[in-house]
Structure formats: C-alpha cells, structure tokens
C-alpha cells in the first residue's frame, strides 16, 4: 500500500511539472493571458520577451567588448618591445639550421650549405670568445678576493683545475644496431619467458593442439577459419 502511494505521489509531481512546462511554453508564445478573480493581470509572472531581449543585449555588449580587445594594439610585458614572429623569408637573426632555407638547385644548394658551415664557424668562434671573456672575468674576481683574504690573514683560494679536453670519439667503436627481430623469434622469446604469470601457458597450448588433433572431422571448422 505504501509503495502504491509513493508511485502515485511521484506521478502527480511529474504531471505538475509537465503542466507547468507547457504553461510557460504557451506564455512565451503569447497564447495565454492569465488573470485573477478581479480580471487584472498578474504582475509577478516572468516576462519572457523582456528577459530574452536583455540576454541578447548582454551578449551583444560582450561580443563588442571582445572584438575591441582583439582589434586593439598588442601590448608586451613590461617596457620591452613586442616580440615579432619569425618568417623564413626574413633575415636570419640567429645562426642555425632551422633558419636556413636550402634551394632545390644543386649549385645553389651547395652554396647555401657552405654559407651554413661558415655561419656555424662564426657561432663557434663567438661562443669561444664569450667563454674566454667569462674565464678572464672569473680570474679577475678571484684575484681581487685573494688580495682581500691575504690582507685579512687568510689563505688565498686555490686556482680551479684546468678543464680537460673533450674525449675523442672513435666512430668505428660504436656498435651497429642488431638485426630486427622476426615475429617468430619474438613469439619464441615470449614463450620462453620465466615470468610467474607466463608459467603453464606452454602446457595449455599443447593441450589445445592435442584436442584439435583428436577432434572428429564432423566438428572441425572450415578451412577458411585458419586463413
């Protein structure tokens, strides 16, 4: 009995919601004009037309504001200049292969490669020059600090050990990649695995093959099944 009352209460609530939804739809279309017992219209109901116009006006204002922001001049961070995007047809600002456009012509391409090598040499020379200037600056700073330490009765700092030269790499000593594993070899390697969850799989496969060999031809699947 209580179950039937609960179902009836839910059905009545759903019917009220459905009637209210239909009523609001008709009011939005202007097909209903509600009035009270004194034949005066209700003032507390929602004016859907005014509400929709207000939403459209707010969206239009927001759209215009975003359009003004997009068309406004870009502003950089801080007082620095606005960064420009790189284009391959512009003058190269940084040395490197990513900023070199090689020609499809063989002679022109050779000249481009030579130019690229020269630019790489210039980059290496510039890096070496900066490294030497940095070492000189560190030496001057260390000498100044040692003079202050000697003046205060302290031992001077030892000079840093020289940087060892980079080791020479013998290209012939680099091993070549091995032969690519075939599907059969991979299957055999996986079947020989000693992992705990792989133990017994070989016996299961053997049992399946034994059952297939002992199966009668009447229950054998067609040859297209094995293709």
Query: Are 144 and 108 members of one domain?
Result: yes
For residue 56, give its domain range.
2-71
Any domain includes 166: no
Any domain includes 53: yes
First to last CA, the chain: 64
Query: Are 52 and 111 members of one domain?
Result: no
Q: Residues 196, 200, 204, CA angle at the centre, nearest 5°?
A: 150
Query: Are 65 and 11 members of one domain?
Result: yes
Any domain includes 78: no
Measured in whole angstroms, the distance separating CA 50 from the mean position of its chain's CA atoms is: 45
User: Per the structure, how many domains does the chain have?
Assistant: 2
Cβ–Cβ under 8 Å, residues 109 and 101: no
Q: Which residue, of 151, 176, 193, is where some domain finishes? A: 151
How confident is the model over 32-70, as pLDDT tens digits? 565 555 555 555 556 677 788 888 899 999 888 888 776
Residue by residue, DSSP assigns 52-71 as: HHHHHHHHHHHHHHHHHHHH
Instruction: Name the pTM for this structure.
Output: 0.30
How confident is the model over 117-167, as pLDDT tens digits? 888 889 889 999 999 999 999 889 988 888 888 888 888 888 878 778 777
């Amino acid at each position: 009995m209580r179950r039937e009352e609960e179902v009836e209460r839910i059905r009545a609530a759903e019917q009220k919601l459905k009637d209210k939804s239909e009523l609001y739809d008709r009011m939005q279309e202007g097909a209903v004009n509600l009035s009270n017992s004194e034949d005066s219209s209700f003032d507390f109901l929602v004016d859907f037309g005014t509400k929709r116009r207000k939403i459209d006006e707010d969206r239009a204002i927001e759209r215009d504001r975003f359009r003004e922001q997009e068309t406004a001049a870009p502003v950089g961070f801080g007082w620095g200049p606005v960064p420009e995007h790189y284009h391959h047809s512009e003058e190269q600002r940084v040395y490197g292969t990513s900023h070199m456009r090689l020609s499809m012509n063989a002679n022109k391409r050779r000249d481009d490669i030579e130019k690229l090598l020269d630019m790489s040499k210039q980059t290496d020379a510039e890096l070496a020059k900066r490294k030497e200037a940095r070492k000189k600056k560190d030496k001057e700073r260390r000498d100044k600090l040692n003079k202050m330490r000697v003046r205060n009765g302290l031992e001077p700092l030892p000079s840093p050990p020289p940087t060892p030269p980079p080791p020479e790499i013998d290209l012939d000593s680099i091993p070549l990649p091995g032969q690519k594993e075939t599907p059969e070899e991979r299957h055999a390697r996986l079947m020989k695995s000693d992992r705990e969850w792989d133990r017994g799989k070989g016996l299961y496969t053997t049992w399946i093959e034994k059952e297939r060999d002992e199966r009668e031809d009447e229950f054998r699947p067609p040859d297209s099944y094995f293709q």
